[in-house]
Amino acid sequence: MTISRTETFKNIIANFGKLKQSQIDSFNLFFDEWDGKDKRHLAYILATVWHETAKTMLPIEEYKKGKGKAYSRLENGISYYGRGHVQVTWLVNYAALTRANKKGWDFVNKPELMLQNEPSIWATFYGMRVGLFTSKKLSDYFNEEKSDPINARRIINGTDKAELILGYYNKFFNSIV
């Protein structure tokens, strides 16, 4: 499927309100990264990112940098608190992303790379497609037999805010043409 960006942006604005240029630029990068196969996957990724980035669509650091959370403890002098479009946490996830990417991004030694659009968007798609973050992946919830955006939240964070993200998902799904 090829996205009609003009129509899709009109629909997104109708559903979510006026967008900043930085949001438009980020949406375009997400559209570029999408494989064009299952619109539900893209809609769910956008819904998740909309929520996880406080609607900015920009890669951000976790509020309070994971203070008090086990994943934020220093390992080799670095804290692996949430960063990026989906708040990647834990050294094991940063290491898996380092091994998987073909661009030479070293997220283990430079976790701040997750705060740049290109590596963060790649990590978002990769992690959600292969089940990196929780062992749950997009195809577990969106396939020929089912469409389950409520439980798809388990890809990132249990069922925390699943109903809220469902609302975003429905709006994005209906916006993409």
pLDDT at 76: 86
Which of left, alpha, beta for 170 (phi over 0: left; psi -120 to 50: alpha)? Answer: alpha
Per residue in 14-62, pLDDT (tens digit) is 999 999 999 999 999 999 999 999 999 999 999 999 999 999 999 999 9
52-100: pLDDT as tens digits = 999 999 999 999 999 999 999 999 899 999 999 999 999 999 999 999 9
pLDDT mean over 143-165: 96
- List Cβ neighbours of 1 (8 Å cut-off, separation of 6 or more): 36, 37, 39
CATH of the domain at 92: 1.10.530
What percentage of the chain exceeds 70 in pLDDT?
A: 100
List, in order, residues 6 or more apart from 174 with CB less than 8 Å away: 11, 15
Q: Which domain holds residue 100?
A: 5-175
Facing residues of 84 across strands? 60
Specify the 3-state DSSP secondary structure of 84. strand
Q: How many domains does the chain have?
A: 1
**pTM passes above 0.85:** yes
153-176 CB burial, b ≥16 within 10 A, e <16:
bbbbbeeeebeebbebbebbbebb
